[in-house]
Amino acid sequence: RNFYYITMLRDPVSRYLSEWKHVQRGATWKTSLHMCDGRSPTPDELPTCYEGDDWSGVSLQEFMDCSYNLANNRQVRMLADLSLVGCYNLTFMNESERNTILLQSAKNNLKNMAFFGLTEFQRKTQYLFERTFNLKFISPFTQFNVTRASNVDIGEDVRQRIEELNFLDVQLYEYAKDLFLQRFQYSKQEEHQKNRLKRREERRLLREQRAHQWPREEAAEATVTEDYNSQV
């Protein structure tokens, strides 16, 4: 079947804080199989960050301290082709090469999707979605600037630490933001050009219509004059 793949990206720091708050309330991904190349990762390849049923009440520091936390660089990992780097087997290649391949794969897959949007640009996302799929939403998208993540008060050192843990996501987001705004600007210019051509065509048709009306009006005036003269 013919599927259209789309996705939404979010600012890496906000997304990371949001996931931490989600996990803190008891959320888990136990049902996720993390399938890659036809199999799930072994416990050695993908250890858990906590013992017990969930990670409820985890502090932000504990969340950041777990080196194999899947919250790190989640957007790149979920968009990339993991089979290129041996899936979850971290001994398949060195870390630097693995990161380079993952980031490039994520960029390529994002660029080739039918559509992607950015959480921080809701109205622009709506505009591009409507233009891409030739439809109109019944109501405008709403930009919520106050979220659970935005309510978390963190210092500059913590923010920097989160950016370090998500350095691949940060690079992906910068790439996505640049590409997204280029597409938006191109679509706007295309729309303006189409509207100009439409107005130009409407003016041309109007001129032609007036040009056809004038001879008829002159003929009508001539007929009236002749009839009047004959009557006189």
Q: Digits of tens for pLDDT over the chain (232 positions)?
A: 789 999 999 999 999 999 999 999 999 988 999 999 999 999 999 999 999 999 999 999 999 999 999 999 999 999 999 999 999 999 999 999 999 999 999 999 999 999 999 999 999 999 999 999 999 999 999 988 777 777 889 999 999 999 999 999 999 999 999 999 999 999 999 999 989 999 999 898 998 888 887 766 666 665 555 555 555 4
Contact (Cβ atoms closer than 8 angstroms) between residue 100 and residue 106: no
Contact (Cβ atoms closer than 8 angstroms) between residue 172 and residue 103: yes
Closest among 113, 109, 124 to 76, alpha carbons compared: 109
Q: Whole-angstrom Cα distance, residue 112 to residue 128?
A: 15
Beta strand 115-118 pairing with 6-9: parallel
Q: What is the dihedral of CA 188, 191, 193, 195, to 10 degrees?
A: -140
- Tell me the angle at which helices 156-165 and 12-24 cross, rounded to the nearest 10 degrees: 90
Q: Whole-angstrom Cα distance, residue 115 to residue 8?
A: 9
Q: Whole-angstrom Cα distance, residue 12 to residue 163?
A: 7
How many residues are there in the chain?
Answer: 232
Q: Whole-angstrom Cα distance, residue 110 to residue 106?
A: 6
Q: Whole-angstrom Cα distance, residue 40 to residue 52?
A: 21
Question: Cα 225 vs. chain centroid, distance in angstroms?
Answer: 70
Contact (Cβ atoms closer than 8 angstroms) between residue 8 and residue 128: no
Say which residue the tokens 């194999």 belong to. 68
User: How confident is the model at residue 232, as a pLDDT?
Assistant: 46
Query: Which pTM was predicted?
Result: 0.85
